[in-house]
Structure 1
Amino acid sequence: MAATAVYEAAPRPPPAGIYVPAVLFFTPDDELDLAAISEHVLRLARGGVTGILVQGSNGEAQHLSHDERSRAIRHTRKTLDDAGFCHVRIMAGTGAQSTRETRTLCEEAKDAGAEWALVLTPSTWVPAMSPDAIIRFHREVAQGSPIPTLIYNFPVVTAGIDLDSDVLGTLAQETNIVGVKLSCGQIGKLSRLTTQNPLSKFSPFIGRADVLLPSLQAGSAGGILALANIAPRACVKLFKSFKNGDLEEARKLQDLFVHADWAITKLGGIGGVKAIVTRGFGYGSGLVRGPLTPASEQKLQQTAGVKWLDELVALEKSLPDVEPGQ
């Protein structure tokens, strides 16, 4: 077992706000499309997001080599810095199926420029993942990680493993565990966490745009939202409207998000996000790595609810950019 990390100051959660689990783009020969990735990263930054999650589920982390994962983080950080968006933070997905590899990925993420690691619970051996085993895994990863960790609770990609508020509350007491992304979308769970842990120590972020406003009303620190790949400005506008007390505007945006988020689900998630981004903003492609399948133009035309995504893209284009340093 690797030595426990030593911290110069108390680890802190990511700042509150909107984060984007950014999709990656690939060339026809299945290599990273660095030009398209840069264009996407800069559109997100100009949308006013607080940070970018590299290698979340939407970033196809499990389909990348260690070298590709590090390159994607490093490229994202350099793209932001070169354009003057040094204030935009980077989180990195570091989930793997063993404690050892997960800790290695945390180390590599730090070296590449990430400030926080988002850690999935291993799911190859589901019967072995008792609450005690899950707690031990996340503790050992956090204790060996050179950057603070957040827990990634997403039952869809962990073979149904869904961490409850008791397990998460126990892990919230660990020094280097500073938050959770709740892609389960459970507001009651989020409320139990926010009422028992100060946001300055442990920050829950919602992982679904269709419950962003309810999560903010329940005390969340913000959202890490796939839909923000399409509409970062609109997601930030909802967050700011809520913080400024404009609930009417926030509810209007939330009404659009519930339909748009559902349409993305029906399009197939990652492939659908990429297809809408490419069609709406003119860069990248809908290419994904197998076994995933892209969302074809025919599927876009045949999927009910795509009109909501078209409305969201139109709204996004009507909103102003954020300049570097703002």
Structure 2
Amino acid sequence: MSHPPPSGIYVPAVLFFKDNEEFDVPAIKSHILRLAKGGITGIVVQGSNGEAQHLSHDERKEAIRLTRQTLDENGFQNVAIIAGCGAQSARETKRLCVDAKEAGAGFVLVLTPSVWPPQMTKENILRFHREVADACPLPYMVYNFPTVTAGIDLDSDTIATLSQHPNIVGTKLSCGNIGKLHRLTSTIPSSEFAVLAGVSEVLLQGLLSGSSGAIAALPNILPKLHMKMYSLFQAGKIDEAMKIQALLGQGDWATGRVGGIGGIKALVSKHFGYGGTVVRSPLKPASVEQLSGPYYEKLKELIALEKAL
């Protein structure tokens, strides 16, 4: 029987490149290590923030292997790895799942294919995920992110139906829908199926509704602040946790305004001293204008709090 990942905070790690767009291995390792030292529960390799769709099969496998090696060599064997294995065909997705196990991942996270949205009926979505989960050698999580799947948004009935598969153990809800999250957590025990918020701006709201935590982009910048909030929640200090949650909501919004993935890389490079700003086209690096103004100032305040923890 497959089991869900441990409850906690997971980071879909950005991937750093050199100017020639090859892996910047020292920067990748520095980032993984800072996240682990920040106390996070696990790392998602090849999530949307890891530019998975811009990488070759070999690069995707190497990113997982490098992450596992970096964690293990530095005493963080307990930090879980969830591998993003989404692809546009069941055949390719199955191959990525096998690659993920061989490279050292503990779980997989799979997007719904989206090249042909009219073909992706509820019946076809269920068939795809079940077929891949049947063949997957690791516990399988369903990734719901309408922004990157041509607007396909799995409803709670569809996800609940998939949760009955013996190898499907959880979901990431980047739709940010707390009603959907709560319907799932109140229907399926968390010991059998982990429901994870996909954005920091609803992290505490999700936890209060029974979620198992979150997989969110903002911990790339603020891992300690997220873990502080999570610890306050676990201790029952909801009022204190809510104060930090308000900051995380502001930070989530501001990160999108300073350039998303490119902005995260630029902020990490500027304030933590490793990595560069290179992203693979068609993404764009953050501009000088984006790293200024009120949104950037808000993120600078949060980074100061992070460094004080």
The question of a shared fold, defined as TM-score above 0.5 by the shorter chain, is answered with yes
User: How many residues of Structure 1 are paired with residues of Structure 2 in the alignment?
Assistant: 309
Contact 1:275 1:296 in 2 (8 A): no
Q: Which residue of 2 aligns with 1:138?
A: 129
Correspondence for 2:55: 64
Q: Work out the CA distance in 2 between the residues paired with 1:154 and 1:162.
A: 7
Is 1:48 matched with 2:44?
Answer: no
Q: Secondary structure at the match of 2:43?
A: strand
What code does the residue aligned with 1:262 have? Answer: W
- Computed over aligned residues only, the root mean square deviation of the Cα atoms, in angstroms, reads 0.7
- Is residue 297 from structure 1 mapped to residue 298 from structure 2 by the alignment? no
3-state DSSP of counterpart to 2:169: strand
Q: Cα deviation per residue 1:204-261 (whole Å; 9 max; x = unaligned)?
A: 0001001101000000000101000000011111111101011122111111111111
Shift of 1:286: 1.3
Work out the CA distance in 2 between the residues paired with 1:131 and 1:237: 39
- Among candidates 38, 49, 65, match of residue 29 of structure 2: 38
Name the counterpart of 1:203.
194
Gaps (5+ residues) in structure 1? 1-9, 320-326
Secondary structure of 2:191's match? coil
Residue 119 of structure 2 corresponds to: 128
Q: Paired residue for 2:73?
A: 82
Equivalents in 2 of 1:115, 1:137: separation in Å?
21
Partner in structure 2 of residue 220 of structure 1: 211
Aligned-residue sequence identity (percent) comes to 58
Q: What is the aligned partner in structure 1 of residue 150 from structure 2?
A: 159
- Amino acid corresponding to residue 255 of structure 1 in structure 2: A
Which residue in the other structure is 2:302 paired with? 312
Question: Residue 296 of structure 1: CA displacement?
Answer: 2.0
Residue 166 of structure 1 aligns to a residue in which SS?
helix
Within 5 A, what are the aligned runs for 1:247-326? 247-302=238-293, 304-319=294-309
Alignment of 1:240 onto 2:243: no
CA distance in 2, matches of 1:284, 1:268: 16
* Cα distance in 2 between the residues matched to 1:280 and 1:217: 32
Quote the residue 1:93 is aligned against: 84
Q: Distance in 2 between matches of 1:255 and 1:158?
A: 29
| Aligned 8 A contact 1:28 1:287 in 2 | yes
What residue is the counterpart of 2:95 in the other structure?
104
Q: Supply the distance in 1 between the matched residues of 2:273 and 2:109 (Cα, whole angstroms).
A: 30
Paired with 1:310 and 1:249, the residues of 2 have a C-alpha distance of 21
Give the secondary-structure state (helix, strand or coil) at the position aligned to 1:122: coil
The one-letter code matched in structure 2 to 1:282 is G
User: What per-residue deviation string (whole Å, max 9, x for no partner) do you get for residues 44-67 of structure 1?
Assistant: 000000100000000000000000
Checking the alignment, whether the CA contact within 8 Å between 2:258 and 2:295 is kept in structure 1 is: no
Whether 1:28 aligns to 2:19 is yes
Q: Separation in 1 of the partners of 2:298 and 2:237?
A: 23
TM-score by length of 2: 0.99
- Structure 2 distance, partners of 1:159, 1:286, is 27
Cα distance in 1 for partners of 2:235, 2:277 equals 36
Deviation at 1:179, TM superposition (A): 0.3
User: What's the TM-score once normalised by structure 1's chain length?
Assistant: 0.94
Deviation at 1:118, TM superposition (A): 0.2
SS in 2 for 1:248: helix
**What's the secondary structure of 1:117's corresponding residue?**
strand
Residue in 1 aligned with 2:174? 183
Q: How far did residue 306 of structure 1 move?
A: 1.6
How far 1:73 moved relative to its partner? 0.3
